[in-house]
Structure 1
Amino acid sequence: MTQGDKPSEAYAWPEVLCASVRSLPEHRTLWIALSGGLDSTLLAHLAVRCYCPTHDVRAIHVNHQLQANADATEQFCEHLCERLAIPLTCRRVEVQRSGSRAGGLEESARQARYEVFEQLLEPGDLLLMAHHADDQAETLLFRLIRGTGVRGLAGMPRQRPLGKGRLYRPLLDFSREDLSGWAADAGLTWIEDPSNADARFDRNFLRQRVLPLIRSRWPELNRRLSHTARACGENSFLADRLAALHWEQCADQRGRLAIEHLAGLSPVERKNLVTWWIRRAGYAEPSLRDWGQVIGELIGARQDGSPEVVGDGFVIRRFQGWLYLVPAAPEALPVGAELFPQQPLRWGEWSIRLIPSTEQSRPNPAIRVSTRQGGETFRPSPQGVERPLKKWLQEHAVPPWERARLPLVFRVDGDRQRLIAIGDLWCSGQYSGSAPAAGWRLIVERDCD
């Protein structure tokens, strides 16, 4: 522990430092990610100085239970928040020790930490993290060595969505040397993480051995890398704007990409659009060596071919001239459920409602929802003949993986049941239109992207 005490009320924090914390986005609750180290301890003092007692300021400490002083660090955070008179939430996590390399453990700890933050934040909440200019330089160099694109070289953004709230980094313009000097002047107390001295971790190796050597030759390294990150961020922004324009040209209202239109783009534009599509759906972009070949196989496959791109939690599939982005392991569906008037039913990615079409509707019908069991038939039009559902789905080009998840809505009359809706693809005229004959309107909607 570095000794010190809470700064006196007369201590004047540098205005440039206070201004970085005062200029935050609008928020409801202000959270500080508190590790107990120099940077987050300083940030906690600043947040309290600038926002208490007029705002709701809180702290969150994630105990990874990896270091010998983990419990002592948690206690330090508790005592610090008591002195600052702000609530503290402590969460202990079990970190997966995947792989033999220390870098694997480092990344697992990071993922566990951010999962806690995502679970904690509510709409309108803002989480402050104490990353500084040295952290940004370290991140850029680490990503460059690992082999990243322009998006990765944009570095850590000052702010971004996180869970239901947002993350914000107010100290990115200051070096660790600056922060250390101000903390010493204020007489702050903090705890050094012993893992920071372990050069087996990739980032520690860069911080201890590589970056000092580079700075000895180029003292303005932080400024130069900050310029690089800003330029890469601008290029990444433009790439996203281009992808959004191509999306308007190539996609339909169901969120599918048309093979014909995708094939008309250059290989670079195809990759940009497909990776943007993946990120937009909330998935991590897979690190494929040759995107051009992968997308080319999706485009050039036989009409009856079934090529796939498998990522972390998702699959891109081709079916009859379209590309679909679907969950790799979709949410399990119930065997069946009753649908009650004016009580929306969630069915996987679907919402199903039954509402009266007039103020004096007929008695509530018995409505049941289920998936395909096999052998279902229905009458697409009142004067038409009974059709097998399986054949109808094939004729309407419904992808095989969707057929098993479509909600089938039945009206139950005694021992008999009659199919009245097939997902959002078809609905009986008895339950649709401006004046449904049944006196009830059935609404089946798929969640939008």
Structure 2
Amino acid sequence: MTPAESVLTRFDVPVPPPVQGRPVILASSGGADSLGALRILHHWMQCGKIPALSVVSINHQIHPDAASWSERACAQAAALGVPATVMTVALPAVTEQGHHSLEARAREARYAALAEALAASPSSVLVTAHHQQDQAETVLLALLRGSGSAGLAAMPVCALFAGSWHWRPFLSLAQADLRGLAAEFPVVVVEDPSNLDTACDRNYLRHEVLPLLQRRWPTAVTQLAQTAEVVAEERFALQESALRIFPEILTAQALPLGVLQGVSRPAQASLLRVWIQAQGALMPPRSRLMEFLRQIHAARPDRQPVLQWGRWMIQRDRGLLHWVAEMPPAETPHETLDWPDPQQPIPLPTGVRWVLRPATSEDTEIIAEDCLSRSWRIRPWRSADLLRVTAGARRRIKTLFQSRGVPVRDRRQYLLIEIDAVPVWVPGLALDMHYRGTAGHGWALHIERGA
């Protein structure tokens, strides 16, 4: 038995109770880490530790060879008699709220596809080949973000995912052990050149920072990974404390401001971090979190302070902190519609249609009749858009939402009408005063559902 193959017999971790007795789906890139993980999982299946094993490979369509890489991952599985499938995904667009990096958008698309795979096999659990070095890199990234203990706990061994579980059994295993198993198996592994791109933060840590640390401290990777274990234990204690303060904190979509009263500012930050982690989000930078805590206590009751990071948001509104899981998308071509004839109804992608009808005295938003002969376009509103709703300076649409007390989580449903490329009307919010008509000399917008 070779040293690498001995890993199959000496490496063992307990199967977490939620995972016991469940079939395993391995997410495989076809790379050396994935192949090493496949060999261990296959060995565990033969030993009866797991009941069944299959492989899914995600084709992100980023690299010209991406499809062949997925085929290679399937060929590796076939060599061990393990069934495999390929899922092809399209990356989400870059948005104003996040997802700017290719790596982040690929991750989002990948995990959305893996959630579909679990939905098709609801008794199964997801396994990924994350190893000790991945965990060390995650700890360093969390340190550089100033994420606090929740970020330093890094990746959990077992976590809820897509109605099932995501199990990472290899977090205590050195990457060299996984790669040794792959090297001694007679199949070709995928070499993704993007893994060498040090413009990516994780790759920079992997290729530039960690080797430097290991030259000075040879056990740096192990110690960083163990730090995550220790912090995770401390996080568990913090979670228990948070549950005593607010028992619903792990499932609540709104957090009463009252639970923050009577505890110190650091304790308030810990409560919010426990809540954020329960929502499955990354941790916000500490500076933003602490500034948000300052604002929610200092702002006037009619204000709605917001903590926004990545694609997540928390907003204070009427004595509650509301969790906003998904931010409104930025404008994309399919969300912008020309309205060639405003006197004819226009269907919207949301399943409703807008119809202009002659205004009556009961209508509150009436647009002048002479506007109908001009060029109309419908698009998502932007924070910088301006309307003049009273005499004087124009006001930002974002400010109008705030002054009317519209929660951030509800603002995504509003659209803006441009006339001759000028922002004019956000139906249900405000109409520019220079375009207003009157009953008998104007038109009102009506929403018809199910049309």
The TM-score, its normalising length taken from structure 1, stands at 0.62
Is the contact between residue 30 and residue 189 of structure 2 (CA under 8 Å) also seen in structure 1?
yes
Change (3 A) 1:65 1:298: same
Residue aligning to 1:33: 27
Residue aligning to 2:80: 84
1-structure distance, mates of 2:221, 2:110: 26
Residue aligning to 1:170: 169
1-structure distance, mates of 2:258, 2:118: 42
Deviation at 1:176, TM superposition (A): 1.9
2-structure distance, mates of 1:44, 1:260: 49
Residue aligning to 1:212: 211
Please give the root-mean-square deviation of Cα atoms over the aligned residues, in Å: 3.7
Residue aligning to 2:66: 70
Q: Which amino acid aligns with 2:90?
A: E
Q: How does 1:194-273 map to 2 (within 5 A)?
A: 194-248=193-247, 257-260=255-258, 262-273=260-271
Deviation at 1:221, TM superposition (A): 1.1
Q: Which amino acid aligns with 2:182?
A: A
Alignment partner of 1:124: what SS? coil
2-structure distance, mates of 1:222, 1:330: 36
2-structure distance, mates of 1:281, 1:142: 20
Deviation at 1:294, TM superposition (A): 2.5
Is the contact between residue 139 and residue 151 of structure 2 (CA under 8 Å) also seen in structure 1?
yes
Residue aligning to 2:353: none
Change (3 A) 1:201 1:49: same
The correspondence for 1:44, drawn from 32, 38, 46, is 38
Deviation at 1:146, TM superposition (A): 3.2
Structure 2, gaps ≥5 residues long? 329-362, 364-404, 411-451
Alignment partner of 1:174: what SS? coil
Q: Deviations over 1:264-306 (max 9, x none)?
A: 2211122222343344455555446243443343234445x23
Residue aligning to 1:426: none
Change (3 A) 1:102 1:212: farther
2-structure distance, mates of 1:269, 1:102: 30
Is the contact between residue 288 and residue 307 of structure 2 (CA under 8 Å) also seen in structure 1?
no
Deviation at 1:63, TM superposition (A): 0.8
Deviation at 1:22, TM superposition (A): 6.9
Residue aligning to 1:110: 107
Is the contact between residue 103 and residue 201 of structure 1 (CA under 8 Å) also seen in structure 2?
no
Larger radius of gyration: 1
Is the contact between residue 34 and residue 60 of structure 1 (CA under 8 Å) also seen in structure 2?
yes
Q: Deviations over 1:198-255 (max 9, x none)?
A: 222222222222211211111111221122112221222222222222215x99x997
Q: How does 1:86-101 map to 2 (within 5 A)?
A: 86-96=82-92, 98=94
Q: Deviations over 1:4-37 (max 9, x none)?
A: xxx99xx7763113x3487783143210111100
2-structure distance, mates of 1:307, 1:78: 51
The TM-score, its normalising length taken from structure 2, stands at 0.62
Alignment partner of 2:160: what SS? strand
Change (3 A) 1:275 1:158: closer
Residue aligning to 1:274: 272
The reply on whether 1:289 has 2:283 as its aligned counterpart is no
Residue aligning to 1:138: 137
Q: Deviations over 1:383-438 (max 9, x none)?
A: xxxxxxxxxxxxxxxx987xx9xxxxxxxxxxxxxxxxxxxxxxxxxxxxxxxxxx
Is the contact between residue 45 and residue 53 of structure 2 (CA under 8 Å) also seen in structure 1?
yes
Structure with the greater relative contact order (CA < 8 A, sep ≥ 6): 1 or 2?
Answer: 2
2-structure distance, mates of 1:53, 1:227: 28
Residue aligning to 2:360: none
Change (3 A) 1:218 1:90: same
1-structure distance, mates of 2:201, 2:69: 23
Change (3 A) 1:21 1:59: farther
2-structure distance, mates of 1:156, 1:254: 23
2-structure distance, mates of 1:294, 1:22: 40
Alignment partner of 1:289: what SS? helix
1-structure distance, mates of 2:269, 2:29: 39
Is the contact between residue 147 and residue 283 of structure 2 (CA under 8 Å) also seen in structure 1?
no
Q: How does 1:414-433 map to 2 (within 5 A)?
A: none
Is the contact between residue 24 and residue 53 of structure 2 (CA under 8 Å) also seen in structure 1?
yes
Structure 1, gaps ≥5 residues long? 1-6, 332-373, 375-398, 405-449
Alignment partner of 1:173: what SS? coil
Is the contact between residue 30 and residue 57 of structure 1 (CA under 8 Å) also seen in structure 2?
yes
Q: Which sits farther off after the overlay, 257-266 or 190-199?
A: 257-266
Change (3 A) 1:261 1:205: closer
1-structure distance, mates of 2:149, 2:6: 40
Change (3 A) 1:43 1:238: same
2-structure distance, mates of 1:307, 1:323: 10
Change (3 A) 1:163 1:27: farther
Is the contact between residue 115 and residue 161 of structure 2 (CA under 8 Å) also seen in structure 1?
yes
Q: Which amino acid aligns with 1:211?
A: L
Q: Which amino acid aligns with 2:32?
A: L
1-structure distance, mates of 2:24, 2:106: 23
